[in-house]
Every structure is written in structure tokens, then in C-alpha cells.
Amino acid sequence: MLKKEINTKLYYSISEIGEMFDVSNSLIRFWEAEFHILNPRKNTKGDRRFTQKDIDNFRIIYHLVKERGFTLEGANNEISQNKERLKKRFEILDNLQKVKKYLEKELDRLG
């Protein structure tokens, strides 16, 4: 999953995305061509600028392909049929991780 926590920036570079997910820039560019939901903006120099929405979409792709072993075609089909359900699942997981971190801090504080 994510190697590095996401900050609250407006735009992220391709290398920042690669670092977050521990993947190569070439894989990110490849998935951009394969998955229509991944569509980062490009600045005047042609550098990709990823928004939080792009990161969320990349996370879905990463989960399906890298963690669950979907083929690219299978992942595309799953996204087209169940995108909203997948997004909701990640929202719940994110909230649970925040609660876990909070509880761990409280336990350390009390302990």
C-alpha cells in the first residue's frame, strides 16, 4: 500500500507518487496510458501534476493490480463496474487507520 503518508498539497510530481507507492515513474506513465481514470494535468513543460483525486484513483489501480493480482483488463473492468464501491472502501480504510493511530498515541500516552 502507501509507503509514505500523503500530505495536503494541491499537486504532486510523478516522483512523489512513485515514492508514495514504491513504484517506478515508468509504471506510473504506463498505467496512465492503460487506465482512463488516471489523468494528471501537465504543466507547460509537460511535467505531470497529480491531484488528490489522481492519487485516490492510482491507489485503486495499485490495489487491484499489485495487491489483488488483477490483470490490467480485469482491473479496468472492476473499476468501470464498481468504482464508487471501491472509493467508499478506501474512505472507510483511511478513517480506520486514523482511528488506529489516534488510539496508539493515547495508549502510549497512558502507558
Q: Is pLDDT at 7 greater than 80 in this prediction?
A: no
| Whole-angstrom distance, CA of residue 68 vs CA of residue 64 | 5
Return the percentage of the chain with pLDDT > 90, whole number: 68
Does the model's pTM come out above 0.85? no
Q: Is pLDDT at 5 greater than 70 in this prediction?
A: no
The mean pLDDT value of the chain amounts to 90
| Whole-angstrom distance, CA of residue 41 vs CA of residue 98 | 29
| Domain assignments of the chain as residue spans, ordered by start | 14-82
Residues 50-75: pLDDT tens digits? 999 999 999 999 999 999 999 999 99
DSSP 8-state code for residue 36: T
Query: Where does the pLDDT of residue 11 fall: very low under 50, low under 70, confident under 90, or very high at 90 and above?
Result: very high
Domain 14-82 part of CATH 1.10.1660.10: yes
Give the three-class secondary structure for 40. coil
Compute the average pLDDT of residues 18-43: 95
Compute the average pLDDT of residues 18-38: 96
Residues paired with 42 in a beta bridge: 48
